[in-house]
Amino acid sequence: MDAVDPNVFRLAIFVLAVFVGYYVVWSVTPALHTPLMSVTNAISSVIIVGALIAAAAATASEGAQFAKGLGVLGVLLASINIFGGFLVTQRMLAMYKKKDKSAGKT
């Protein structure tokens, strides 16, 4: 019996992770969405570290420019994700602030 191709195995893990992630996010109560956003920002920071390592580890071997390009792209996309996550978290936290009733009166 031949061994399973590693790419098929990785694809199966990715598909399972997508399904688990979808059901976990949609089963979270609305009150816990802000902490969930904070956790995803922390995960994105780990992705940035990995992308920086991938970009720095590329040497003069074949495909080094492609690896550096993917590393830089990973840093860029994870940075956008973190920045957007912080903006969304800030807006979500602003919804819980009490409004100043005396500000509208003259």
Per-residue pLDDT of the chain (106 residues; tens, 9 = 90+): 578 888 899 999 999 999 998 898 888 887 787 777 778 778 888 888 888 887 787 666 667 888 888 888 888 988 898 888 888 878 877 887 777 776 656 5
* Contact status, residue 28 vs residue 35, Cβ threshold 8 Å: no
Supply the pTM of this predicted model: 0.60
Q: Which residues contact 15 (CB under 8 A, 6 or more apart)?
A: none
* Geometric angle at alpha carbon 20, from 16 and 25, rounded to 5°: 150
Q: Return d(Cα 86, Cα 62) in angstroms, integer.
A: 38
Q: Return d(Cα 92, Cα 104) in angstroms, integer.
A: 23
